[in-house]
Structure 1
Amino acid sequence: MSFESIGDFLAMGHHGAYVWSAYGLTLLVLTGNIVWPIMARKHYLQVEARRLRREERA
């Protein structure tokens, strides 16, 4: 499929809103699948560090 202009490419034959929202949602989910575990690990390590500091004081 060839497009005559960037506008035609973005419109995707009047299906552009569906196509680009699907791409955007997919990108959002993939990014979340990368970022969420990293943040959860960081939080877990912070909680464990606090717990260890409390145990050392006791």
Structure 2
Amino acid sequence: MQFDSFSDFINMGGYAFYVWFAFGVSGALLVLLTLTTKYNHKKIKADIIQQIKREQKLKQAAKIHKQSQEVANES
């Protein structure tokens, strides 16, 4: 579509509200998608770190428990 002036371009042949509304909604959704993706990425990384720490504590507790059973069995 060819426009004679910038104001004709902005007016979009009488469909400006629909065209610019669609652009605005699309832009807002893309920004929202980007922000939620970044937030979820940080949250998942924190959850993984917490899970690794929890597993290390469980392994350490199991090792201590095994050692205490070996000492109890020796006496």
- The percentage of aligned residue pairs carrying the same residue is 27
Task: Specify every segment of 5 or more residues in structure 1 that has no aligned partner in the other structure, as ranges.
Answer: 54-58
Higher relative contact order (CA 8 A, sep 6+): 1
Larger-gyration structure (1/2): 2
Match of 2:9 in 1: 9
Post-superposition, which runs of at least 4 consecutive aligned residues in structure 1 deviate over 3 A?
A: 43-50
Which is richer in helix? 2
Instruction: Count how many residue pairs are aligned between Structure 1 and Structure 2.
Output: 58
Deviation at 1:39, TM superposition (A): 1.4
TM-score by length of 2: 0.55
Match of 1:30 in 2: 30
Match of 2:41 in 1: 41
- Separation in 1, partners of 2:6, 2:17: 15
> What's the RMSD between the two structures over aligned residues?
2.4
